[in-house]
Structure 1
């Protein structure tokens, strides 16, 4: 008689891992596709709190979900509030809605082009121009784009840049060569005008030039050059102009978006950021007090709190790459900065949890090669954004702790960093945060507007780079594929150089 693990009906992964098929355990993708129950796992496609061999002992989906604030609807009592939660169908069940008939806009009519751009950007279709997204315009990471109508007419150079942005995006969405060519010409014209204007002595106090750099960095994304050196050059130029605004204390809402753009770029590239320095903290605090069109207070508060992170990451990288041992006081200084950052983040996160419901997952697994079996659902894109930003920052902070712990002499002890977590604990927590972000991709990026989709760019990039540093090619490959699907659905290019690097690492698996 065959042993239990080899009886007919058990799946191949379970037999190979000598695991007994059990309905109480999560299933590998092979068993999901064949409606079998098992204890094996295909780790190339599933992101959850497991190691590379098997689920953790006594794994229970409900308990695990509650532990990490991911509510399993099957374990919750029925309530009227739950009945209002939007249910996201599987990727294969719903096709992306077709764009409305091409409006054939006149590219020389800037106000009209901006209107068409915003309708497509937010997917505001139909006679009432209501968006199907669970997103309030202006509350996304790129909320400044909703301010474009008020910027039209401020200066010829800004108008030229806005024209390039709008026509490039509309032309790309409809695959209209005429508009795409016009947009590229406008971009080149704006670039020449910007270079000439920046050479003038009064360029530092011209707000239209600052807005132009912000607009042109987005145009790079819509021209399929996203993440490349050209976009980086615009971000760097905008940061330099922001220095002038701080110097003359001439700040407005526009400068907040400039600050955020540089912040996300600095975190993604793990480079130090001037405005992360404590010396800029009073000026930054003053900047966040200026009137804003859209409140979105929790998002802006997170950006302000997280400002020290780029310099922390740069310091950690310097310590880990140093050819000589780093003095313990230097390591402890960085650890203290991490502790301070965590102390500011903790009450912010408590406010988030108290003011809005957390994510949940449906009891039935979703079967699709393009997604995780149990994707997360949220009340809105804004709620999803806050949670994934928190998870991304926690992932980076824990990784920084992990790296520093390997360079700190043992006699200093964990108490030096105000943490009792072991390296193994930190590694497990990092994997969990990365998992939660990956499980949130579908909510933001499938069958949504570009305004909603771009909220996941930064968190997904953080996770992809995390997997790259870990040498986890299986999960990195999933992230690369997710970016590729986003680029195809949104008809844009994003982080091409980073993704090419990642693809070279995982190419041998293709």
Structure 2
């Protein structure tokens, strides 16, 4: 088809003349015989990021070496500096002079040959990027999002599993934005194929240790959050959890030293660490990421950011949650319960000191509303500060609510209990509730919606213990997520989390008194295979 990239492999001159081309190189035989100047051949298309400034490591220009493609995704690379768009991002004007809603993105969306299967392939990726970067404004994401979008184009051409995952989420985004049910269905078929290819990659030692495959669980987990909703089912949450735990398995399989060797591996690690920690909080099980070498070796020769040091503190929360579960169960005797209670309280106070130290060391990294304990919505200076602030709030909420339980303070009476020596956990739950509207603004895209999901889920769990006290704050949340686009997707995802809440029960872990269970790729591979089977039955 004329005009569709990838459909004709003829030289530029033959395509313009609408003549057959014998594809000879460097000049085709048809042009030589007829005395025409052969225009040459278009290079295979790849993603090209055009403004890759990285706060941690400075600019990263795209080079041929950066494009190291796998055998399943090899493409030539030929781009001249003059081809790169460097102009400011502006809305395109219509013939009437009015601004349309099509925005020029700072990313040129071009695909490898094996992804150009139909006209919607490129448009689907553009639709995903419009969700991730609304209106082409990179300010609509935080540093983690910028770094990931910097790396994703180059990573995508290196492995077929990541290609299929990105195409699946792009097709789903296009289907949702256009209301095309067929595209939405096709996205799930592509998702199933991505699961199958992921299982294949995990059985290949070389592919399994590649940076491209390490990025796959993040994309797949994002698909589950945004497009995996099933009515009255915990399946969505379980699928998301399998990807988060798979990401942890891929991280741990390399060892902590691997993430200090080059900037790309380091950035993937620091950007990935949060999701396995969410999974550990969800399962209320101590994580190996809390071990000291996992909090030091990846940063050899580097300085930690405020986000890095905050996540170091969050690493200790799952262990405390696991201990709290044991304290409130009947699986240990009174003597051991008292010893565990004292130890848990001591660990809580240690984390409290670390958290206070973090606040002192990073006064400009977080935001404190002028008015506490009101119904006034929180307006943050920018999305970067907003994301880090709610991470601090949810860490504090989990810490101080656990300390309350370990100290014998009951949920129905905690509102009457003063906390002269520490903050009250309800304070943080309410701050999170007041922040939801900010994150769900359309201009904040996927980053805003997904950044608030973990804090919001835990704030709701806390407030639902005593709903009469916090009903007005819960009303703020209900109003904010009534939007049928991203907010409703987060609502449905949290509902699935609630549906599956009984899956990782303490009863299922009775007798498991030993410490850490290390996630492994050997466990993730069967999960990916089983998901592929499930999706294959449902969608293929």
TM bucket (normalised to shorter chain) is 0.5 to 0.7
Matched, 1:264 2:273: no
TM-score, with structure 2 as normaliser: 0.60
Of the three residues 210, 217, 222, the one matched with 1:213 is: 217
397-406 or 333-342, which moves further after superposition? 333-342
Instruction: Decide which structure has the larger Cα Rg and report it.
Output: 2
Aligned partner (choices 426, 432, 437) of residue 431 of structure 1: 426
**In structure 2, do the counterparts of structure 1 residues 149 and 249 end up closer, same or farther at CA, with 3 Å as the change threshold?**
closer
Counterpart position of 1:381: 383
Residue 351 of structure 2: aligned partner: 341
**Aligned CA distance change for structure 1 residues 184 and 483 (closer, same or farther; 3 Å):** farther
With 481-490 and 170-179 compared, the bigger mean Cα shift is at 481-490
SS of structure 2 residue aligned to 1:495: helix
Distance 1:176 1:312 in 2: 46
Matching of residue 464 in structure 1 with residue 468 in structure 2: no
8 A Cα contact 2:134 2:140, kept in partner:
no
What's the offset of the Cα at 1:339? Answer: 1.8
From 153, 156, 165, the equivalent of 1:149 is 153
| Bigger relative contact order, structure 1 or 2 (CA pairs below 8 A, ≥6 apart) | 1
**8 Å CA contact 2:453, 2:494 repeated in 1:** no
CA contact (8 A) 1:271 1:310 kept: yes
Q: 1:402 to 1:217 in 2, by over 3 A?
A: same
> For 2:191 and 2:342, how far apart are their aligned partners in 1?
48
Alignment of 1:10-25 (within 5 A): none
Matched, 1:474 2:471: yes
Which of 398, 401, 421 is the aligned partner of 1:399? 401
- Tell me how many residue pairs correspond in the alignment: 373
1:100, CA displacement in angstroms?
A: 4.5
Is the CA contact 1:111–1:149 (under 8 Å) kept in the aligned structure 2?
no
Matched-pair contact (CA < 8 Å) for 2:348–2:399: yes
Alpha-carbon RMSD: 3.9
Question: Is the deviation greater in 353-362 or in 458-467?
Answer: 353-362
Change beyond 3 A, Cα 1:247–1:306: closer
Q: 1:145–1:170: structure 2 CA closer, same or farther, 3 Å change rule?
A: farther
Contact 2:449 2:486 (8 Å CA) reproduced: no
1:485 aligns with 2:482: yes
Gaps of 5+ in 2: 1-98, 111-115, 230-234, 502-540
Q: Is the partner of 2:255 in helix, strand or coil? A: helix
Name the SS for the 2:355 alignment partner: helix
CA distance in structure 2 between the partners assigned to 1:480 and 1:407 by the alignment: 26
Per-residue deviation at 1:305?
A: 2.5
Task: Quote the offset at 1:425 in angstroms.
Answer: 2.5
Query: Which of 181, 185, 188 does residue 185 from structure 2 map onto?
Result: 181
Matched-pair contact (CA < 8 Å) for 1:171–1:177: yes
1:230 corresponds to: 239
Alpha-carbon distance in structure 2 between the residues aligned to 1:180 and 1:479: 31
Contact 1:487 1:494 (8 Å CA) reproduced: no
How far apart are residue 227 of structure 1 and its match?
Answer: 5.0
CA-CA distance at 1:203 after TM superposition: 5.6
The CA deviation string for residues 274-314 of structure 1, in whole angstroms up to 9 with x for no partner, is 322xxx321332224587xxx99222321122211111111
Structure 2 vs 1, CA of residues 387 and 148 (structure 1 numbering), >3 Å: closer, same or farther? Answer: same
In the alignment, which of 451, 459, 466 is matched to residue 455 of structure 1? 451
2:140 & 2:300 partners in 1: Cα distance? 22
**Does the CA contact (< 8 Å) of 1:214 and 1:234 recur in 2?**
yes
Aligned equivalent of 2:361, options 334, 340, 351: 351
CA distance, structure 1, for counterparts of residue 275 and residue 167 of structure 2 = 21
**Shift of the alpha carbon at 1:498?**
3.3
Question: Which runs of structure 2 are paired with 1:3-42 in the superposition (5 Å)?
Answer: none
Q: Is the 8 A contact 1:331 1:404 kept in 2?
A: yes
User: CA 1:257–1:430 in structure 2 vs 1: closer, same or farther (change >3 Å)?
Assistant: same
TM-superposed deviation, 1:153: 0.7
2:397, 2:429 within 8 Å by CA — same for their partners in 1?
A: yes
Does the Cα contact within 8 Å between 1:361 and 1:376 map onto a contact in 2? no
The residue that corresponds to 2:341 in the other structure is 331
CA distance in 1, matches of 2:252, 2:484: 33
CA distance in 2, matches of 1:350, 1:335: 23
The equivalent of 2:497 in structure 1 is: 498
- Give me the whole-angstrom Cα distance separating, in 1, the residues matched to 2:157 and 2:342: 52
Residues 297-308 of structure 1 aligned to structure 2 (within 5 Å): 297-308=305-316
Instruction: Name the CA shift for 1:166/1:302 in 2 (closer, same or farther; >3 Å).
Output: same
- Partners of 1:117 and 1:170 within 8 A in 2: yes
